[in-house]
Structures are given as structure tokens and as C-alpha cells.
Structure 1
């Protein structure tokens, strides 16, 4: 492999992997490097979905995170690049069989292969230099809230992975992606005073990104500010939709009509999930539009909440039930006639951007409709956002 990468520091840790800031050794270009440990068939399936979706998007849209390279870790310090268009057969086999291919069969095999690995480690040349050694220190991480799907498997530590032996075909996938210096959307927007023009730009960029993904047959299924990264440029922030671990790609050609593909698994993040997902019903890509509606409302009005047990504010609209906050999707699932007050009526702490105008409010209500087919489709959304913003500007 011609390009070598150096890990600089850990910048994020989630339920399924760890993200490092790194650089290309030859050019010094900054990259983000995500390590996904392949210790469980359910997790492996999510990794392959993410890889497949990111390969489909590649570098084709400025508002979708770009994948530069994918590396297959076959030993404690040995990696090799994955050829474009190919999936690791050992990982596909693990998903189909429901067990990790090459996992240890007995304690004797484990002891034997551990000593082999120790000898191999002395002679092997590392393809990935780790200055932080954090990839060798895997502690069980808490789920990023809102919660991921239930029944996640425990992550195996790096030490356990190394003792799996030569029979284990893949220890981890490493995804090398473009680096975003502005953090996620929560961090970026809440770290500075409200900027109405900037908020409008963010909403338009996200509309364009989701239209692009849906045209490719990709339903994201976990849209939230934490999964939107920001690159700072001279012309303003460029937002990038990221984290495709829960995404689904359409089987065959649907000619851009994802409303005909239905999903049944409940997944996503509580405060952004659509009512049909909350209700355990079959749902389509229109669930993404509801999630966007929650994000747009929060961005335009600077609505934040604190997840229980945390002190970091998150962008997200919600319903109020007494003194408790309730996800919009859950409230609408329980009561389809639940009134949504856009803009919010109760007082919030300054500084606040101007409240969205009547045309934008009407669009948000459409995006947050209980009936998925009453929501605008992704290919209509960017045009509708532009029109609503222009009409409200003329009314001001």
C-alpha cells in the first residue's frame, strides 16, 4: 500500500467504533480514521452497510462525508487496502453464518496461536503508525444518546482480538475519511452566537444531501446533529452527513422512489425518530424527512435539550408533557392530534435567532406530519425550503 497513515489522537468514541484524527504520512493531509472491531456478526453487518453506503456516495456530493480508503486489519499490526467494489468475503460469511469466521474453537488453539502472533508481531511491518496507542485500549463505551437499537453485543478488547489466532480473517475495518475541523453540528452552532443566514445555509445543504442519498437509494435512518459534521471554509460552514452504520440501500433499482421500500427494525435516536418508527410500524425513507424536520426546527430556533445524565446541550425539538421533555415522534405516535407549536411559544434564554416566518413554519409542519406520505419527498425538499425562505424574506 503506497499511502501510510499516522494516528494523532482520538476524537470520538461511539457504540460501535472509535474515530481518530490522523494524517497521510506522505502529504501530511489530515484525515479521520474510524476503527470498527469485527468481533460480532451483528456489528459486522452494520459495518458492511456503512462501507457499502459510503462507497456509493464516494466523493460525489460536497455535503456527504467522503471515503478515501478502506483497510482490512488481518493481524495486530498488519493492514491491507480493500479493493474498490469488493467486500471482505470472511465478513460476509460471518454475517450469513451468524458467527465470526475463524473464531477460536478451543483453549488449546488459542494458546498456540497466541504464541504465533507474538512471533509474527516482531517481524511484521505496521501499515498504520499509532502515536496514541488508544486503539490498543478498548474500554466498553456507553451508548451515544439518543439510544441505538437494543441487543448490542459487547465489544471485545484489542487484547482479546489479538488472541483469536491466525484463523481469524479480519480483526477490524479501518475507514479513512475526510477530516472535518468544525466538529459536529451541535458543537459548531452552539459554540457561537446565532446567525440566521448561516442557519438557512445549513438547512439548504442538508436538504441537498438527503435528496442525493435518496436518489442513490440510501435511507440514512439515524439523522441527528451529532451525525452531521462541519468543515470550516472561507465561504462559510460546509456540513457533511456522516455515520451510515444504520443506513439501508435499496435492493435493485427503485428509480429514486424509496417510498416503495419498507423497513421494520426499530432504529435511530429517540428525539429524532418518526412516529411510525416509535410505533413499531413499517416505515419508509420518509422517516428521514421527519428526522430532518426535527433538526431544521431546532437549528432555525436554536432549540436545545439536555439528555438525562449529561451536561452537554443538544439541538433538537421536542414536546412538553408537564415538566418532562418528550420526543416529537413519541408524542405523535401516542396522539396523532398532538399540537405542534411552531415557532415555540414559551420563553427561552437569549441569544436567539429570529423566529422562522409563516412559510417556513408551514413547511416544518409538513415535514413533521404523522402521515409519512403527507411529508415532502427528498427530491422536492430543497426547492420547497428555498421557496419558503424567499417568501418569508419578502414578508419581513
Structure 2
């Protein structure tokens, strides 16, 4: 692979890495390039999991982010393309041994400093109700302690090509969006030709694995929060978003991929003449499942696969995840229900220290907001009111119809078995919208 990628500007930075807007030098095609520094076995495990999932999804669904290329950085200006279907063995070794193999110390120290700074600025996870009206007030939103954030995950069956061993797992979102900043000058990432790489596979010498670079399709509409909240409410647009997301999760679950961190920040939007095209992204916490043998497929087998690690973001986590219980792919359905409710009614909240609204449903406790999953964990018999009774000032879209309200309540059931599967959800979303439109 001989083409060169040009980095134009930084568009996102988080606890795991940096995302750049870039271009293919030969074609000029705009792409998103994510640099993931290989500074710890825990980070490397998440990177490899994301790479494996994105390769599995390929470009088979328009509502899932597409991976164009993957490169392994082995020097300050040296990148090697990874052949399709292969994992970088040096990084696999690092993840399994629990130590980073031949990493570049200076680069690692710089990136670790950025990561620690980001983590130290994480806010508590309960928001004052006054934030709904624009005031910056104290937050009571509870975040997991650092020991929980890096808690050791129990043995979980995956087909990612890694050992079925205990590997620490972070619960933070991989890339948190920040205002775009332009780099001074343009950088070119040079890649070695493939000649000679096949011979190295047999007698591999430990090398410096500085970073993993993922080249993905570029989404010019930003994330779902930014896209929807920067525009006036529109029922037709909201319904389109809900339908596309249900299609994306049905596709992932058919491939036995459980996302485990669904939220508006992890849904990107590509602008098209026919309307917004939403794409599920950020698969660092996802799992690929093997259930009932190699030929097993479908939601029925997927709901029998249990997970134990606490993953996700507080406002979107299912009650069973909040409670530290084992959970299944049905946790994705709950997270999707929170998103659907927020999108259809434009329900938002503010976190302390932030002036940017975020889409998300919750339960009011006096003047405090409690994540819906936490409230249902504490009281499984809690009666959820859809549409929401206490609503923000206009402009607001009309409330969802009766059929959609019933579907939302089913998705937000405290009992995971009472929620529809992803395949059932895709069908029910379409039927509910048709019924509400006919009334």
C-alpha cells in the first residue's frame, strides 16, 4: 500500500487518543484518522478489539462507521500497513503479557500525561435540574471510582483472536469531542511498502510499537448531540435518526457484536442531500460473541451470552449494569431506548463545568437528575412517564405517538428479558411510526 495520508487538523482528543481530519494524497478523499498511542496493555486490548470489530462490520451497513485502513507505527515517521484479517502480533503479545513490548518511552510518557490530565478532569455524575435552564450549578452526577474504571473484567468469550484471559478494561468513552483546533502546517505519514513484510512474519524481531492508526470514513456532521441540538426540532428528522439507529444495532447484533457504550457522542452524522446519515462508531468497549457453536447466529443466541465488566456512560447504562450484575446484549437496547426518548422529545442535561447540552433521559429527584438506569436499579417498579411530564421551554417537537411511547417503555423495562431484541426492535420501530402517522 503506497498512498500517503495528509493530516489537516485535529478534531477530537480524549483519554485514549487523538482524531484528525485528513486526506488521501492521491485521491484527495477526506478521511478521519485516529491515532491510538500504545502506552499500556489495557489500551492496546481496547484498540485491538475495536480494530477486530470494525473489520468484521467491513462496509456492509451504511449506519456503521467504515474502516478504510489500519497502520502500525514502528518509528517516528514509519508506518506499516496491516494486512486484512491479521492482527499486529507485537500488540497482541503486549495485551496478553500485561506489559508493553518495546514501546517508545518518550511518546508513551507524553500520551500518558495527556490521558491522566483528562481523567483527573472527569466530573461527578448527577446534574442539578437548574442546568436544564442554562444555569451552571453543582453536579451530583456520580462517576465510577478509578478502581472501578480499571476494574478487571472476568473471563468473557470472544472471537477477537485474543486469549480468553482476564484483561483490565476502561469504561471511559474512547474519544470525547472537543472544539476543533488547527495544527500548524500539514504532516505526512509515510508508510513502508509491503515488500519484505511477509518474510518478517516468520522470524519476527521485537520492534517499537508506538501507535496504531485507524483510517475511517469522515463524518462532516459531527456527533449526534452537535447535529441535532444545533438545528430546530424536526419530527421527520428525529424519526429518521431512530430508524437508522435501530437498523445499525440490528446489524451489529446479527454479527453477534455488542456495543456496550451506546450514546449520542458515539453516533456520528454524515451530511447527504437526502438527509442525515447516522453511523454508530467507537467500538473500543464492544464484544464479539461466540454462542452455541460456530454456526449460531441471531438475537436468541446473543441474549444467552453474559458479560460482567461495568461498561458504558452513566446516563445510558442499563439497570443491571448499574447493579454490577451479569448482563447481555439487551443492555444495548436499554441504552438505545434512552437515546430514542431524548431524540424524540429533545431531552437534554448539562454536566458541571460544561455549557454544552447533551441528549439523555433521566429521572428527577427534587432538583437533582438521576440516570434512568440507576433509578430503575434502586426501584425496579418505578413508573417511567413517556412522554416526559416536566419539559423544557419551547421550541420542542411534538411528543411521540402512542405506539412509539409503548415501544420506548418496553425498551426501558427494568427486566432485560422484557425488552425487545434488536431484530424485533427494527421491525417495531417501523410499524409504530406507521401507526402513529395514520392516526
**TM-score bin, normalised by smaller chain:** 0.7 to 0.9
1:269-325, Cα deviation, whole Å (9 max, x unpaired) = 000000000000000000000000000000000000011221110000011111101
Structure 1 stretch displaced more, 44-53 or 12-21 = 12-21
Q: Tell me the equivalent position of 1:8.
A: 8
CA distance in 1, matches of 2:345, 2:55: 35
2:114 aligns with 139
What residue is the counterpart of 1:326 in the other structure? 370
Where do 5+ consecutive residues of structure 1 fail to align? Answer: 105-109, 118-134, 156-165
Distance apart, 1:169 and its partner CA: 3.2
Change (3 A) 1:363 1:74: same
Specify which of 382, 386, 389 is matched with residue 342 of structure 1. Answer: 386
1:237 aligns with: 276
1:97 is the counterpart of 2:97: yes
Quote the residue 2:196 is aligned against: none
Task: Give per-residue Cα distances to partners, 1:93-142, cap 9 Å, x unaligned.
Answer: 111111111258xxxxx8xxx9xx9xxxxxxxxxxxxxxxxx99973452
Q: 1:308 aligns with which of 330, 348, 352?
A: 352
- When the two structures are superposed, what TM-score results if normalisation uses the length of structure 2? 0.78
CA contact (8 A) 1:273 1:329 kept: yes
Which secondary structure state, in structure 1, belongs to the residue aligned with residue 433 of structure 2? Answer: helix
Q: After alignment, is 219-228 or 341-350 more displaced?
A: 341-350
Consecutive unaligned residues of structure 2, counting only runs of 5 or more, are 126-142, 151-169, 175-204
How far apart, in 2, do the equivalents of 1:71 and 1:13 lie? 19
Q: Secondary structure at the match of 2:240?
A: helix
Paired with 1:284 and 1:137, the residues of 2 have a C-alpha distance of: 32
TM-score (norm 1): 0.86
* Structure 1 residue 393 displacement after superposition: 1.3
Contact 1:103/1:167 (8 A) holds in 2:
no
- Per the alignment, residue 352 of structure 1 pairs with 396
CA distance in 2: counterparts of 1:239 and 1:356, whole angstroms: 20
DSSP 3-state at the match of 1:236: coil
Deviations 1:49-96 (A, max 9, x none): 000000001111000000000000001111010000000111111111
What is the distance in 2 between the residues matched to 1:136 and 1:284? 34
- Report 1 or 2 for greater relative contact order, CA contacts < 8 Å, sequence distance ≥ 6: 2
SS in 2 for 1:385: helix
Give the CA deviation at 1:253: 4.5
Is 2:306 the partner of 1:267?
Answer: no
1-structure distance, mates of 2:315, 2:111? 34
Indicate yes or no: 2:257 matched with 1:281: no
What's the offset of the Cα at 1:217? 0.9
Matches of 1:325 and 1:90 in 2, distance apart? Answer: 45
**Residues in 1 aligned to 2:305 and 2:296: alpha-carbon distance in whole angstroms:** 8
> Hey, what does 1:162 align to over in structure 2?
none
Deviation at 1:17, TM superposition (A): 1.1
Is 1:19–1:32's contact at 8 Å kept on the other side of the alignment? Answer: yes
Deviations along 1:7-49, one digit per CA (max 9) or x if unpaired, are 1111011221110000001111100000111110011000010
1:255 corresponds to: 297
**CA separation in 2, counterparts of 1:264 and 1:224?**
20
Shift of the alpha carbon at 1:394? 1.5
Is 1:82–2:57 an aligned residue pair? no
**Distance in 2, Cα, partners of 1:278 & 1:360:** 26
Q: How does 1:35-184 map to 2 (within 5 A)?
A: 35-103=35-103, 139-140=114-115, 141-143=117-119, 150-151=149-150, 168-184=207-223
Q: For the residues of structure 1 that align with 2:423 and 2:15, how far apart are their CA atoms?
A: 32
SS of the aligned residue for 1:142 comes to: helix
* Alignment equivalent of 1:199, drawn from 235, 238, 245: 238
Q: Deviations over 1:346-395 (max 9, x none)?
A: 13111100001111000000000011111000011111001111111112
From 414, 418, 428, the equivalent of 1:374 is 418
1:217 touches 1:254 (CA, 8 Å); kept in 2? no
1:317 aligns with 2:361: yes
Quote the Cα distance in structure 2 between the aligned partners of 1:15 and 1:276: 26
